[in-house]
């Protein structure tokens, strides 16, 4: 896979003034954390992993192949940094998972026979409800 410590060395952080709750505190403190990761220039990820991430994260990447994540949930800059790191690692891990190929299965003959038998029984039951033909 990849080393979390090595990939975190390639990440840059920036603190920005956050919006939202906090009153006057918000105007004084830069608690929002922005994480940037340059996918194209990454040394930790091999080429196949980079291509997989480009495909999976194409709507989250900039034109230059940079992934930007932001977090301003907490009033604490350190907590926001931990949250954004956790999100980043989770995003990378889930994007690198290769799904198993689906093997189409055949419907067993016993299931087909059972269905046809039940259809026949139902049709006979309904046929028996009709008035007898006295000709």
Residue 87 CB: number of other CB atoms within 10 A?
14
Residue 18 has pLDDT above 90, yes or no: no
d(CA 35, CA 9): 12
In this prediction, residues 77-99 reach a mean pLDDT of: 93
d(CA 82, CA 134): 86
Q: What is the largest CA-CA distance in the chain?
A: 99
Residue 9: how many CA atoms within 13 Å on its side-chain side?
8
**pLDDT score of 51:** 93
Higher pLDDT, 29 or 66: 66
Residue 119 tokens read as 């259809």
**pLDDT score of 22:** 64
What is 4-96's CATH number, 1.10.10.10, 1.10.540.10, 1.20.120.1200, 3.30.160.20?
Answer: 3.30.160.20
Report the first-to-last Cα separation within the chain, whole angstroms.
81
Average per-residue pLDDT in the chain? 89
CA distances from 17 to 11, 70, 82, 115 (A): 20, 12, 17, 66
**pLDDT score of 55:** 93
pLDDT tens per residue across span 108-124: 999 999 999 999 999 99
CB-CB contact of 16 with 30 (8 Å): yes
CA distances from 92 to 3, 7, 108 (A): 11, 10, 40
**pLDDT score of 20:** 64
- Residue recorded with tokens 């709750």: 21
In this prediction, residues 33-39 reach a mean pLDDT of: 93
**pLDDT score of 114:** 97
Residue 82 has pLDDT above 80, yes or no: yes
């Amino acid at each position: 896979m990849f080393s979390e410590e090595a990939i975190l060395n390639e990440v840059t952080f920036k603190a920005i003034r956050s919006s939202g709750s906090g009153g006057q505190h918000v105007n004084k403190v830069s608690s929002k954390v922005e994480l940037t990761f340059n996918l194209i220039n990454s040394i930790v990820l091999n080429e196949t992993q980079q291509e997989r991430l480009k495909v999976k994260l194409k709507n989250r990447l900039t034109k230059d192949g940079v992934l930007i994540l932001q977090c301003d949930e907490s009033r604490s800059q350190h907590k926001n940094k931990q949250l954004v790191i956790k999100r980043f690692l989770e995003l990378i891990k889930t994007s690198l998972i290769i799904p198993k190929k689906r093997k189409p299965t055949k419907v067993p003959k016993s299931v087909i026979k059972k269905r046809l038998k039940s259809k026949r029984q139902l049709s006979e039951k309904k046929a028996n409800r009709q008035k007898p033909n006295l000709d």
